[in-house]
Amino acid sequence: MADLFNIMKITVGTDKLTARVLVNPGMPVRTSEDIEATARVYYLAPAIAMHTCLGDAGEHFQDCMSDTEVAHLLEHLTVEILNETGLAGDVVSGRTKPNPDDPRLFDIELSCVDDALTVGALSSATFMMQWAFLHPDQVAPDFPGTVVALRNLMLRLRGEEPEEFTPQADEGAQYVGDELPYAAESAVVDTEGARAAVNELGSEVLFGGAAEDMWQGGEQQQ
């Protein structure tokens, strides 16, 4: 089966990374085409619901999450991974731009303090989306484990020793969707139920994307 996305090109600027993303033929372009898959992504990272996201149906991503571009969902999942590493700065931003010539082609702009970190987060988010939309029968990705693996990899690349770290979805940081700042709010979500829904699929820890490569590389170095 084909992949959900094809990352066509990545361009790195001084403070921004732009990924040209193709939603492959036959795959859903909007989240409304597969609500169950969209819900799986939410259960992996409930904090995305409270990202500020003006310009669609309301002020927060939850207001448009059920009917927005699948690429837009990928953007917010990537932003959340970046935020939870604690290495992406106080404000993490993202923006998804459709291509006027191709309804399946999008440019995802992400704030970028470190291109390896941002690419790793995007790769991991792509893997999670692949699971949610195409392979829900397989073991669910470990979202906190992926965040920790990505963080540890980045610390090793910087020559620092990884320390014990627990990802936090909302510790006063700011989430920014479509480059509009806001003061972080507490999201009312059933995170306990969400975690249980993920864990019931299996006890095996599963990492994806760049985080998986980094984790394995770190293990080999030890």
Q: Which two tokens stand for residue 216?
A: 């394995």
> Residue 11: its pLDDT value, please?
95
* Local confidence band at 107 (pLDDT 50, 70, 90 cut-offs): very high
Outline where DSSP puts E strands in the chain. 5-12, 16-23, 91-99, 102-111, 174-177
Alpha helices in 101-208 (DSSP H): 115-134, 143-157, 191-199
> Residue 164: its pLDDT value, please?
75
User: How far is the CA of 137 from the CAs of 21, 70, 140, 154, 202, in angstroms?
Assistant: 25, 20, 8, 31, 10
213: which DSSP letter? H
Q: Say what the pTM is.
A: 0.77
Q: Which helix (H) or strand (E) holds 75?
A: helix 70-85
Share of the chain above pLDDT 70, in %: 73
Whether the predicted pLDDT of 96 surpasses 70: yes
Rounded CA gap, 75 and 108, in Å? 6
> Residue 168: its pLDDT value, please?
65
**pLDDT, averaged across the chain:** 78
Whether the predicted pLDDT of 95 surpasses 90: yes
> Residue 178: its pLDDT value, please?
40
> Residue 222: its pLDDT value, please?
40
